[in-house]
Chain A
Amino acid sequence: MPSVNTAFKVEAVLDNLDTVLNKIETVLDDVECPPKTAMQIALTIEELFVNVANYAYPGIVGGCDFSLQAEGEEGMEHRGYIVIEMRDKGIPFDPLAKEDPDITLSAEERKIGGLGIFMAKQIMDEIDYQREGNENVMKMKKVWT
Chain B
Amino acid sequence: MEIITEKNGTEATMVLKGRLDTNAAPDMAKTVDAFLTSETEKFILDMADCDYVASSGLRVILNAQKKMNGFGGTMVVKNVVGDVMEVFEMTGFADILVFE
Whether B74 is near chain A, meaning CB under 8 Å from some CB there, is no
Give A117's nearest chain B residue, CB to CB. B55
Q: Is the interface of A mostly helix, strand, loop or mixed?
A: helix
Give B59's nearest chain A residue, CB to CB. A112
Whether A83 is near chain B, meaning CB under 8 Å from some CB there, is no
Whether A7 is near chain B, meaning CB under 8 Å from some CB there, is no
Q: How far is it, in angstroms, between the C-alpha of A100 and the C-alpha of B69 when the chains are bound?
A: 25
Contacts of B95 in A (CB 8 A): 104
Report whether B66 and A108 are in contact in the complex, using a CB–CB cutoff of 8 Å. Answer: yes
Report whether A116 and B54 are in contact in the complex, using a CB–CB cutoff of 8 Å. Answer: yes
- How many residues on A have C-beta within 8 angstroms of the other chain's C-beta atoms? 28
Contacts of A105 in B (CB 8 A): 92
Whether A5 is near chain B, meaning CB under 8 Å from some CB there, is no
Contacts of A112 in B (CB 8 A): 59, 62
Q: How far is it, in angstroms, between the C-alpha of A14 and the C-alpha of B25 when the chains are bound?
A: 12
Whether A6 is near chain B, meaning CB under 8 Å from some CB there, is no
Report whether B22 and A14 are in contact in the complex, using a CB–CB cutoff of 8 Å. Answer: yes
Q: How far is it, in angstroms, between the C-alpha of A96 and the C-alpha of B72 when the chains are bound?
A: 37
| Segment of A38-46, A63-71, A85-93 in the binding face | A38-46
Q: How far is it, in angstroms, between the C-alpha of A105 and the C-alpha of B87 when the chains are bound?
A: 17
* Mask: chain A, 90-124; 1 = CB below 8 Å from B; 0 = not: 00000000000001111110101101101100110
Report whether B91 and A119 are in contact in the complex, using a CB–CB cutoff of 8 Å. Answer: yes
Distance between B29 CB and nearest chain A CB, rounded to angstroms: 12
Whether B49 is near chain A, meaning CB under 8 Å from some CB there, is no
Contacts of A14 in B (CB 8 A): 22-23
Report whether B69 and A107 are in contact in the complex, using a CB–CB cutoff of 8 Å. Answer: yes
Known A-B contacts A17-B21, A104-B92; the reply to A110 vs B62 at CB < 8 A is: yes
Q: Which parts of B75-100 form the interface with A (CB within 8 Å)?
A: 82-83, 86-87, 90-92, 95-96
| Contact sample, A vs B, 15 pairs, CB 8 Å cutoff | A14-B22, A36-B82, A47-B54, A50-B22, A50-B56, A104-B92, A107-B65, A112-B62, A113-B59, A115-B55, A115-B58, A119-B55, A119-B90, A119-B91, A122-B90
A residues near B, CB below 8 A? 14, 17-18, 21, 35-36, 39-40, 42-43, 46-47, 50, 103-108, 110, 112-113, 115-116, 118-119, 122-123
